[in-house]
Amino acid sequence: MALSKKTASILVIFALLALVMVSGCFTMNVHATANPDGSVSDYRVELTTTSFVYNILKQNARDEGYAGVRDYVLARSDDRAMSYEEVWNEDSVTMKIAGTEKIVPDGTNWTLAKDSGFLIYMDRRFAGAEGMGESDKITDAMLGSCSIHYYLEMPGKIVDSNANTVNEKTAEWHLTGSEVFKTIIYAKSELPASPLPGFGAVLAVLALGLLVWRRHP
């Protein structure tokens, strides 16, 4: 399976976010599990905004020839690498977008790399977006209703991170206002030891030998 093909489809999330940014009113939950092979699994994004902003997204999708937001998202996933769901609650809507297969980060603004026995995860896709992180009273007021909650699981114990909270293999970032666009998501974890080649076969031979010994003392 060519995992790198899954990267492009997930970028549609940030195309949506770029439009929502202008409104200064959204909450985004991101979940990701980093794997030792450099891929990311269980990648899920929940983007909540107002019905007014959603209608802007819908109109933008229609202007580009799509029936609505759902078609706009899934058109970027012709290999069914993503799922899409909407949940409405009065005047707000949550767009749930999830990768259905493993994804390989793009290697530029989103990276997952091995380094001397460690695995380093970095997500720069929010930081500095469209200059939104510039701090002044107007910007801070405009971004007052923006928040991102980022949940990451690494394959080993996390030894360094700028997360708000770290618990063994998991890290959480809870960002609001202009800090959403100033913070690089960063975590460094130990890499789990690789199993010895043929170790399972050795165990099987030992188990068989023990069984024969018991039958023939």
pLDDT in tens, 171-188: 999 998 888 888 999 999
So what's the pLDDT on residue 117?
A: 92
Residues 53-83 pLDDT 10s: 899 888 888 998 999 988 888 887 656 678 8
Tokens matching residue 102: 């493993």
Beta strands (DSSP E) in the chain are 25-34, 40-50, 82-89, 92-99, 110-115, 118-123, 145-153, 158-161, 165-167, 170-176, 185-190
**Higher pLDDT residue, 20 or 54?**
54
The pLDDT > 70 percentage for the chain reads 68
Nearest Cα neighbor of 139 from 180, 175, 171, 108 is 180
Q: How far is CA 2 from CA 7, 11, 99, 119, 126, in A?
A: 10, 17, 14, 21, 26
User: What's the pTM value of the predicted model, to 2 decimals?
Assistant: 0.80
CA dist., res. 40 & res. 112, Å (int): 8
| 26 contacts 49 by C-beta, under 8 angstroms | yes
Instruction: Render 125-146 in DSSP notation, one character per residue.
Output: SSTTGGGTT---HHHHHHTTEE
Integer Cα distance of 107 and 39 in angstroms? 11
- For the chain, which residues make up each domain, given as ranges? 5-215
